[in-house]
Amino acid sequence: MDREIGLTGIGGQGIQLAAQTLAVAAVADGLDAQVFGSYGGMMRGGNSDSAIIIGEGRVTSPPTVSRYWGAIAMHPEYWNRLRRRLRPGSIVLIDSSVFRDFAKPEESTVVEVRATEITAELEAPRAASLCALGAFASATGIVSLHALLSAAESVLPSYRIEHLDANARAISAGFELIDGPVVAAWNTEVAAK
C-alpha cells in the first residue's frame, strides 16, 4: 500500500526540508519512499510544493502524483491546486496560524494546528513546517517520532546546524498536539510512538 502526501507553502517555510525529513524517516521505519520537490523562481514568497510517496513495499510510482492521500498546507497562496487533487478519505493538516477563511476539501478529514504560532512560542520561528510534520505523523501514524527526529538531524545542511535543537523541539511539540491517529496510514502499526 502506498501513501501519497503533498506539501504546499511558500519559499522560506521549509517545505522541501519537511518533505526530505518525512522521506528519510519513512526509510528509517522500514518503508520505501520517493520525494519530488518543485518551487517557483523566487527564493522567498514563491510557491514551494513537494510530493512524497511512502509505501510498505517498493514504491514504483511515477514522478507525477495525480491524487493525494494526505497533505500538509502551510500557506493558502497555492492551497487550491493541492486541494483539488485530494482523494476522498484523505487527511489534511492546515497551519491555522496562517489560514483564515479557506476552501475546505470535501470528503477529507481536516486537522488544524497553529504551527507558526507554536514555533514562535518555542523560539523556533523557522520550524513551523516541522511542527506541522510532527503533528501529521502523529495524526496518521505514518512514521515514528524517533525516526522523524533522527531524519531531521541527518537532512539538515551543515550550514544550518544551529537550528537542530529548535527543529527537534518543533517536531516533538507538533507530535504531542495530536493524541494518536486520526486517520491511520497503515492497517497495522508500522511506526510506533
Residue 143 lies in a domain: yes
Residue 183 lies in a domain: no
Residue 184 lies in a domain: no
Q: Which three cell numbers stand for residue 73?
A: 498546507
* The total number of structural domains that make up the chain: 1
Q: One digit per residue, pLDDT tens: the chain, 193 residues?
A: 899 999 999 888 889 999 999 999 999 999 999 999 887 665 566 788 899 999 998 988 666 788 999 999 999 988 889 999 999 999 999 999 999 887 788 899 999 999 999 999 999 988 999 999 999 999 999 999 999 999 999 998 888 888 899 999 999 999 999 988 888 889 865 544 3
Residue 193 lies in a domain: no
CATH number for the domain spanning 43: value is: 3.40.920.10
Which of 145-170 are b and which e, b meaning 16 or more Cβ less than 10 Å from the residue's Cβ? bebbbbbbeebbeeeeeebeebbbbb
Residue 182 lies in a domain: no
Residue 66 lies in a domain: yes
CB 93 within 8 A of CB 136: yes
Quote the domain boundaries for residue 105: 2-177
Residue 32 lies in a domain: yes
Amino acid at 110: V
Residue 143 has φ and ψ, to the nearest 5°, of: -145, 165
Residue 83 lies in a domain: yes
**Rounded CA gap, 26 and 55, in Å?**
9
**Rounded CA gap, 45 and 50, in Å?**
15
CA atoms within 13 A on the CB side of 55: 12
